[in-house]
Structure 1
Amino acid sequence: MSGEYGILFGVLGLYIILGIIINFSFENKAARLFQSLSMIVILGGLSAARAVSVGADTQLYNNLYSWDFEAGNWQNILSSKYPLYSLYTYCLHFISSNPQIIIVMNSLIIVTSVAITIYSYSENVFLSNILYVTLYFFFNSMNISRQFLAIGILLVATVYLNKNKIWLFWILYIGACLVHSTALVGIVFFVIHVIHWNKTRFILSGALGIALLIFYKRILNLFIVLFPAYSMYSIGTSDTNVETLSSQSNGGTLLVTIFYLLFICIATLCKVRFQDENREKRFAFLTVVMIIAVMFGIVFYKNILMTRVISYLSIFSIVYIPEVIDLFILNIDTTSVNRWYIRFLVVCGVIAITCVPLYVQLNKNLSDVIPYVSFVAR
């Protein structure tokens, strides 16, 4: 058993130690940059170096890579269910015909996209990077890589959206949809951005959310009609044969969602807000995204398709949780306690708690990443 986990825990341990050294060696801005670069190099490298046996769907992506080139012509690419992804894999063949390149490129693009997003949203890059690993996302990306490519593209799209570069958002949004059709849910980000949030609009959005929950079956059926390839996921309960988190650990998913809800409640109770107007606006955006993720996550935790769709929203937890911690610290009276000490304890507590879902994911091998084997060693 130790051999199966050895490489993973060795690399992740090295990554944590390096992160701690960076935090204590550099000023905040430089530390955040080096934390992001270390994430790309170490986590991106760990994912890129995996063999085809690591990740339940990795072999499928390798097969698609070969097929896309053999059947590669403009008609087939344009008629593909995922035309941009087909074009991307076709172009990669001009670099190398070895299917390992699709694993390498997918991994680097996904991790780089997440790193860019974390750097843009989070003041505590180190904690956000750790949460990306402990809250299911990193190892899931080794399984459903094509969807995580779309998630990564949408994450970067929201960075531009919050900078009011709307045209870049739409370009990336369309690109994400042409990689994976579930990225259509990204339209929610634009709607959230254009609304100037106040209590009345929060109440109205809650009413709209309830309406969507009531009519979700009709909406889901419409999606299945438009994209019949996803009908296998619409069953969405544990009696399916699909190897996903929702089919193997429904309770675990629900508990993580409730964990997110705890931070939403903390943020709501905080009276002191961020003084930086842009940061406060980003935080409001993240809060609404997480409210939607939690609302749908609680109701649809047994539905596989909805679980995969919700991941476009719930992945923002990796930047939302550190921001809530910062907001919580701002609300502490400095005359009675040391803020740095409290922050340190809270961050350590959050890391310890989120190691539980990481243990569950690896122990149950939910994404089929155990045993981890590198293609270099073969």
Structure 2
Amino acid sequence: MEVYTILLLWVIFTGYFSNKRISYNHIFNISGEKMYLFLSFSFIWILMAFRSPYIGTDTLAYSEYYAAFANANSLTNALNEEFLSGDVFKFLSYFLGAISTSSAFYIFWTSTFICIGIALYIYRTSKSIPMSTFLFLTLNLFFISMNIGRQWIAIVLSLNALIFIYKDSRSILGWGLFFLSIGIHNVIALFLPAYISVLLVKRYGSNKFIYYAFILCALSCSLLSFVDMITVLQYFPHYIRYIDGTNPDGLIGDTGNGKIVIEYILFLCILVLLKIKNKKEREQVDFVMSIIPAVLFSVIIGIAFSKNNLMNRILIPYQCLFLTIIPYTLLKYKAVTRVMLYIILFSGLIFNYYLRMDGNLGNIIPYEIGI
């Protein structure tokens, strides 16, 4: 637990550099935000990339899957393995296996990919990089990323793809990255509503009918029964192995006692604060406003399915969007109000950070260095 405390303090106090410009004898000149990202994510990367395969419920299993694909006799044989979906992941594993097939290397390359991807997303979209990095830790996204590496590679690809689609709806790179992310983990296909949200808001503005449509869709989805979740599993068969009760982090069940509902209530409060502020100001159609219908959709479903771990994992990329939305919202308020909101938010999220560690959800305690 001590190493995670040090990480949190490092992320908080290195924020000092974010408003500085670092230069040395005209050799290099770098913005404080870039320096902050480098300092904070270097520590995050070290903890992720050099951890033991026993840190994270799925880490050891996925390192064995990686080894199986990497040791295949041919690429065709690797792609034909049926115990795991994701042909792009199999493709990467097969060729990276030429370097090493060890679990340490699997953890190294997936962690590197995830850290670079989430850092790029934060840098490109956040109004406050230190706050977004703090949120990455205290919304427990960092801990989750040490559990589901393959899905997180797909998540960071899809998040960055969303930015390209926002800038240009016909972006070949944007759509290419999105479909590549689906090839890594097919559950990312359920992040499509975020892309639809961006395209609709950019075309029609923050139209109330768009919001109504997403709310109605979310309410309809929330009426799904357990039988309907079995239907979902037919399209994502990899998750079936979690419903027999033998996996310690089963997806159909209540391993977190529904505590994540607290986060979704926080997200709902943030959306209310943003709506209040937008009533007093002229609403702009920017990246944040273009994703609001989708995150509203995800919040409703998240609250309805707070005790369903399968749905919680599906909604992770939507949670990542709040790394951008929360700083954007709080910076709209005047200094005194903003400070009060900071105090409330920071106190609650630090408590949430330690609550996750205390419950050891995802097998993150005690931290161990890999061999």
Q: Tell me which interval the TM-score lies in, with the shorter structure as reference length.
A: 0.7 to 0.9
Q: CA separation in 2, counterparts of 1:98 and 1:345?
A: 49
- Aligned twin of 2:307: 302
- Aligned twin of 2:26: none
TM score, norm. by length of structure 2: 0.87
- Shift of the 90–74 alpha-carbon distance from structure 1 to 2, 3 Å rule, reads closer
Q: Once the two structures are superposed, what CA deviation does each residue of 1:183-208 show, in whole Å capped at 9, x if it has no partner?
A: 11122122112212311222233223
- Aligned twin of 1:257: 264
- Shift of the 122–17 alpha-carbon distance from structure 1 to 2, 3 Å rule, reads same
Deviates more, 1:123-132 or 1:143-152: 143-152
- Aligned twin of 2:7: 11
Deviates more, 1:208-217 or 1:34-43: 208-217
CA RMSD of aligned residues (A): 2.4
Question: Are positions 1:60 and 2:61 aligned together?
Answer: yes
Q: Once the two structures are superposed, what CA deviation does each residue of 1:1-60 show, in whole Å capped at 9, x if it has no partner?
A: xxxx222222332232222x2135349x92322222223312112111111221111111
Question: Which of 241, 244, 249 is the aligned partner of 1:243?
Answer: 249
- Aligned twin of 1:266: 273
User: How many residue pairs get matched?
Assistant: 354
TM score, norm. by length of structure 1: 0.86
- Aligned twin of 1:183: 188
| Identity level (%) | 22
Question: Are positions 1:226 and 2:242 aligned together?
Answer: no
- Displacement after TM superposition at 1:240 (Å): 7.2
Q: CA separation in 1, counterparts of 2:337 and 2:39?
A: 26
- Displacement after TM superposition at 1:169 (Å): 2.0
Q: CA separation in 2, counterparts of 1:118 and 1:194?
A: 21
- Displacement after TM superposition at 1:177 (Å): 1.0
Q: CA separation in 1, counterparts of 2:130 and 2:282?
A: 20
3-state SS of 1:127 partner: helix
Question: Are positions 1:107 and 2:108 aligned together?
Answer: no
Q: CA separation in 2, counterparts of 1:97 and 1:233?
A: 26
Q: Map 1:109-188 to 2 at 5 A.
A: 109-164=113-168, 166-188=171-193
The question of whether the paired residues in 1 share the 8 Å contact of 2:139 and 2:352 is answered with: yes
Q: CA separation in 2, counterparts of 1:346 and 1:168?
A: 38
The question of whether the paired residues in 1 share the 8 Å contact of 2:69 and 2:90 is answered with: yes
- Aligned twin of 1:320: 325
AA of the residue aligned to 2:208: K
Deviates more, 1:55-64 or 1:138-147: 55-64
AA of the residue aligned to 1:264: L
- Displacement after TM superposition at 1:65 (Å): 2.1
3-state SS of 1:248 partner: coil
3-state SS of 2:300 partner: helix
In structure 2, the gaps of 5 or more residues are 23-29
Q: CA separation in 2, counterparts of 1:274 and 1:112?
A: 35
- Shift of the 130–69 alpha-carbon distance from structure 1 to 2, 3 Å rule, reads same
Q: CA separation in 2, counterparts of 1:15 and 1:227?
A: 36
Q: CA separation in 2, counterparts of 1:94 and 1:141?
A: 25
In structure 1, the gaps of 5 or more residues are 333-338
Deviates more, 1:217-226 or 1:88-97: 217-226
Question: Are positions 1:85 and 2:79 aligned together?
Answer: no
- Displacement after TM superposition at 1:77 (Å): 3.1
- Aligned twin of 1:97: 101
Point out the structure with the larger helix share: 1
- Displacement after TM superposition at 1:314 (Å): 1.5
Q: CA separation in 1, counterparts of 2:210 and 2:11?
A: 42
The question of whether the paired residues in 2 share the 8 Å contact of 1:72 and 1:90 is answered with: no
Q: CA separation in 2, counterparts of 1:292 and 1:192?
A: 10
- Displacement after TM superposition at 1:351 (Å): 1.8
